[in-house]
Structure 1
Amino acid sequence: MVRTTSILPALLGLAAASPTPGLLSTLLSNAKGFNSPFSSTSAGGKASCVSGTVAVKASAQNTKLLLSNPPSQYNDTEIFVEFLQPTSGIQAAVNGGKTTVSGTYNINAKLCFPASVSSTSSISTVHFLIHGINFDQLYWDIPSSNGVSYSYLDAAASAGYATFSFDRLGTGFSDHPDPIQTVQSALEVEIAHQMIQSLRSGSIGGTAFSHVVGIGHSYGSIQSIGLANKYPSDLDAIILQGFTINTANLGTTIADFNPTIASNNAPLRFGSLPSGYNVINSAIGDQTAFYRFPNFDTSLFNTLDGKKQTFTLGEIFTLTEPVAPAAAYTGPVDIVNGQNDFIFCSSDCTGENEMVQPALFPAAAAGSTNYYAPGTGHALNAHKTAKDTYAQMIKFSKDNGF
């Protein structure tokens, strides 16, 4: 499997040099299931964490796509041109039916506990965080900028929660397998399911969590819906960020991405990856899809744009596959969107949140709710309203007993 260059050895060396007693305790107590674990903190130091890779064995019924890695950017662009052409029929033409994909995948992950607790065994609820396209797990631990805190890991730790964040397959420092046949929605849902089961049993982290609150952003929200469909008991509560059932702007969004072969766009970062891995071409496309000016810090935007992540042809052709009514899911659901989300609301989310729960979660618990972050685009965590967004998410979790 192709992987980006790992920084784990360097981080291990730093962690081993002089860990604080709290970090050392967390590392010794909660490193179970991690390969090459090292201690770290959240961006603001509110959480003590164990980071490393976890080996996840998973199997899924992926779609056999009758595509190959494009030999040039011309070929890659033509795939997207046809994908966006309503009359082209490319989606049906490349669908070769279902095929079983199995393997053991190294997933880069971070398990964090409130730095203030003396015993991590006292924490019963973990927030399971799934990032969306264009990001990796950094989305949940964005560093402070100009005195404003953007880290959800810090907010959750301050409220007494453990968090588990990870780089989805094909992003960050997780494995980068075949971008067409392997990195698809179905397998990613299965990988998430396996990690949730490991968190509940304690085989990851050593703490058997009683409750798992699933929190997704964008494509991560789609993954969360897939979990609720196939494994309705996996998640006790669900928070969907950056998602509605309004898909009218998805085509415009993909066109805005101006998808570019990642190894051509950023050869120093992605030069070893097959051409089925793409990225958003420019900062302009990034801003258009994910941000609402002036409600974001431009210096932070530039930092995050410089850390943009890959998406695959396999993901594009199976993007919304997990979205279907989760009739058997009975937990509460919180729909959280930026009022000016470009991707799922065409920049005006008025009335969109209220449509999600009855359409996709007909048996959701009475504690279900929704929230609009004012003046905010698709990447809620990277806007100046993040603090208020986090407060609503945490209140939802606590109000429902988790």
Structure 2
Amino acid sequence: MAAFMAAAALLTSPAEAHAATAATAEPSCKPYSLPVRLSDTGEATQTMWGELCQPRDRRPTTVQLLVHGGYHTHTYWDFPVGNGYYSYVRAAVAAGYATFNVDVIGAGNSSHPQSGLVTGDAGAVALHDAITALRDGSLDGQAFTKVIWVGHALGSFYAWREIPRYGDVDGAILTSALSGYNLEHAATAVANTYPAIEDPKFANSGYDTGYKTTKPGTRGSMFFYPATADPAVLAKDEELKDVVPTAQTTPAAPPYGIRVPVLLVAGAQDWLFCQGVTVYDCNDSASVRAHESGSYLPEAKLQVAMVPETGHDVALATTAPLTDSIMLRWARSVAAP
């Protein structure tokens, strides 16, 4: 992984190259509303929204399932600031992959059932249905032969539940999801949320009180590191903030049963998983890997990349080009486009 980071750093201007590629490589994208279940024995009564993007000149054989974190939507992976600079979707499509960028159940354009129903297990079942649709061609009429899970925070925790249970992906890039955390910051994070209907943005949403959102002005300190925070991104992130059902925040069991290759990516200044955490040194990827490897089987071939001077939202930091490069280099080693 150090070699991946070094290679990315040796680019003449990784940030400018990334911005130019992302801006010019306009993907072909189409939205879908996919019927999904909340339990293995239940009916497909909910709808998961997602956008399938791919190169205009070819149909890839591998699709990356992009699963956002809590209090975000699919826009996390395709952020509308910087003309593609903060778009992992554009970077992945430019590298030849297809992406299916979803809103998890209880967020964005997807269904918002009673909050208590949207447990971690329920969300995992729904995401399994999405993967099944990608693999059997029922999403758009053409089947993908390989699927790579790309998660952020809550989207990575879903992978901890879904992948051991179904074994339906070929690899996983799990960002901002480590096992150590700052207890004081975790308590602050809880205090920084309130029922979404108390927020002007969601006052008329009809959500029950179990749907939570972040209080105004709290996201910057939790999700970003000042040295790599773009003021325009901070403002847009506050505007685009979303909700999380309370039941969804129940911690997932460690990912003991994952049997496919895994790359862990995190910001070395992650407010929750790095700052003040002593069980590993976030400035040393080997230290983090030594600690995290206890939760993964040998088949995971665990690799770890810590992005310097970067906070929790790795895709929205000014270091996003480096993060994208690391993720895509690893993806190519697991499944070619």
User: TM-score, length-normalised on structure 2?
Assistant: 0.85
> Once structures 1 and 2 are overlaid, which stretch shifts more, 46-55 or 237-246?
46-55
- In structure 2, how many angstroms separate the alpha carbons of the residues matched to 1:114 and 1:296? 30
Q: Does 1:50 align with 2:30?
A: yes
Tell me, what secondary structure is at the counterpart of 2:132? Answer: helix
Q: Which residue of 1 aligns with 2:61?
A: 124
**Compared CA separation, residues 290 and 101, structure 1 to 2 (3 A):** farther
- Displacement after TM superposition at 1:358 (Å): 2.0
Tell me, what secondary structure is at the counterpart of 2:208? Answer: coil
Q: Render the CA deviation track for 1:310-329: whole Å, top value 9, x for unaligned.
A: 0122123x2x2343411xx3
Contact 2:195/2:211 (<8 A) preserved: yes
- In structure 2, how many angstroms separate the alpha carbons of the residues matched to 1:43 and 1:187? 37
Q: Which residue of 1 aligns with 2:195?
A: 261
Q: Which residue of 2 aligns with 1:138?
A: 75
Q: Which residue of 2 aligns with 1:372?
A: 306
Out of 150, 153, 156, the residue aligned to residue 86 of structure 2 is 150
- Displacement after TM superposition at 1:357 (Å): 4.9
- 1:86-125 map, 5 Å: 103-115=44-56, 117=57, 119-120=58-59, 123-125=60-62
Letter in 2 for 1:266: P
CA RMSD of aligned residues (A): 2.2
Q: Which residue of 2 aligns with 1:170?
A: 106
**Compared CA separation, residues 51 and 43, structure 1 to 2 (3 A):** farther
Q: Which of the pair has the greater relative contact order for Cα pairs under 8 Å at 6+ separation?
A: 2
- In structure 2, how many angstroms separate the alpha carbons of the residues matched to 1:289 and 1:184? 23
Contact 2:66/2:100 (<8 A) preserved: yes
Q: Which residue of 1 aligns with 2:211?
A: 277
Structure 1 runs (4+) greater than 6 angstroms displaced = none
Contact 1:337/1:353 (<8 A) preserved: no
- Displacement after TM superposition at 1:330 (Å): 2.9
Contact 1:50/1:112 (<8 A) preserved: yes
Q: Render the CA deviation track for 1:320-375: whole Å, top value 9, x for unaligned.
A: 2343411xx33211110001001222366235631465222222354x42211111
Contact 2:81/2:232 (<8 A) preserved: no
Instruction: State percent identity of aligned pairs.
Output: 26
- Displacement after TM superposition at 1:247 (Å): 3.3
> Once structures 1 and 2 are overlaid, which stretch shifts more, 259-268 or 336-345?
259-268
User: TM-score, length-normalised on structure 1?
Assistant: 0.72
- Displacement after TM superposition at 1:228 (Å): 2.1
Q: Which residue of 1 aligns with 2:230?
A: 297
Structure with higher Rg: it is 1
- In structure 1, how many angstroms separate the alpha carbons of the residues matched to 2:292 and 2:201? 42
Unaligned runs of 5+ in 2: 1-21
- 1:9-88 map, 5 Å: 46-59=26-39
Contact 1:335/1:353 (<8 A) preserved: no
- In structure 2, how many angstroms separate the alpha carbons of the residues matched to 1:218 and 1:162? 22
Q: Which residue of 1 aligns with 2:172?
A: 238
Q: Which residue of 2 aligns with 1:330?
A: 259
**Compared CA separation, residues 242 and 114, structure 1 to 2 (3 A):** same
Tell me, what secondary structure is at the counterpart of 1:364? Answer: helix
Q: Does 1:209 align with 2:140?
A: no
Q: Which residue of 2 aligns with 1:160?
A: 96
Unaligned runs of 5+ in 1: 1-41, 61-99
Greater fraction strand: 1
Aligned residues: 308
- In structure 1, how many angstroms separate the alpha carbons of the residues matched to 2:55 and 2:90? 8
Q: Which residue of 2 aligns with 1:340?
A: 269
